[in-house]
Structure 1
Amino acid sequence: MTTPWVPQTPHQQAVLGVLLSIRALNDAMDRMNGGMKDDMDMNATDLAALRMLIVREQRGESVSPHEVAKHLRISTASTTKLLDRLESSGYVERHPHPRDRRARILTLTAHSRATFFKHFAEHLEQMRRVTEPYTEDELKLIGRYLTDVSQAIDPS
């Protein structure tokens, strides 16, 4: 696209409104994450790794260092340095994989969970309060839309 898109119809104006709302949400999330990484004394990549581990833990899934590298799109050498930092700061632990002695899995420490949720709990409660008034059907539609947008931006 070489020229800016200019909405021509009421529907296109509504599309633009939603896209502007997504940008505002992204900016708010960036500010929230910026505050968290500063409070937790880590960089954005470290925080992204912790978020991935938390989400995967909530799903009951284990995470290998290779999966962290793939998720963050960083080299294995960079992943090793990242995990060394997170481990020395008391945020993650490396353990032998239960079925593959050659592999490792990562787990969050109690300190990591407590620190992360201490910073995120207030934001989560505010988001929950905003979300509560919507009907189940509306929430399913919003969820589907956000998933579709996420996959359009990052299909991996």
Structure 2
Amino acid sequence: MSERWQPQTEHEHAVMRVLTSIRAVSDAMERMHSGMRGDMDMNATDVAALRLLIIRERNGRPVSPRDIARHLRISTASTTKLLDRLVVSGHVERRPHPSDRRARVVVLTDPARETFFRVFGDRLRAMRSMAMGYDEAELAVVARFLDDLSHAMDPDD
């Protein structure tokens, strides 16, 4: 069994402060997502699927059912049930893939996108406003750190 890490140097204390801040952000994100689940009357997996669709849509990347299964780490059968539920609730549609007629993509419906941004909008504006207080060089360091951290936490994603 490993002992609890105790920072010794100023650099190690700075690392501990960052890790403590990450935990606080993670807790705040969980509370935000929990509130969203309640506001949209959805479970955590459904909301995670919608977040993936929003992010990929912003990047112009289509999302296949397989992408959702991989992202959520659920089986293809569970993904089918999830998508069926989201289609019935009017949150997503299955459409033909734009370049592969054998494949299908999953897209948000306009009402789901509007609801997502209505529920999340104030929080997104607050986060954007906070980030505007940093200059480009600082933001580049933060983005690199968060990308590296994401990879360290989930190297397969």
TM-score by structure 1 length? 0.97
Deviation, structure 1 residue 129: 1.4
In 2, the alpha carbon distance for the partners of 1:138 and 1:99 equals 39
What's the secondary structure of 1:6's corresponding residue? coil
What's the secondary structure of 1:62's corresponding residue? coil
- 1:118 match: 118
Deviation, structure 1 residue 128: 1.3
- 1:64 match: 64
Aligned-residue RMSD, C-alpha: 1.0
What's the secondary structure of 2:107's corresponding residue? strand
- 2:155 match: 155
Encode CA deviations 1:53-105: one digit per residue, 9 max, x unaligned: 11001111111101110111100000000001111111000012233332111
- 1:44 match: 44
- 1:91 match: 91
**Structure 2 residue runs without a partner (length 5+):** none
Task: Compare 15-24 and 95-104 and name the one that shifted more.
Answer: 95-104
What does 1:1-150 align with in structure 2 at a 5 Å threshold?
Answer: 2-150=2-150
In 2, the alpha carbon distance for the partners of 1:97 and 1:127 equals 33
User: Which amino acid letter does the alignment assign opposite residue 31 of structure 1?
Assistant: R
TM-score by structure 2 length? 0.96
In 2, the alpha carbon distance for the partners of 1:115 and 1:49 equals 15
User: Which amino acid letter does the alignment assign opposite residue 48 of structure 1?
Assistant: A
What's the secondary structure of 1:105's corresponding residue? strand
Deviation, structure 1 residue 147: 0.7
What's the secondary structure of 1:152's corresponding residue? helix
User: Which amino acid letter does the alignment assign opposite residue 27 of structure 1?
Assistant: D
In 2, the alpha carbon distance for the partners of 1:123 and 1:114 equals 15
Task: Compare 23-32 and 1-10 and name the one that shifted more.
Answer: 1-10
Query: Percentage identity across aligned positions?
Result: 59
What's the secondary structure of 2:94's corresponding residue? strand
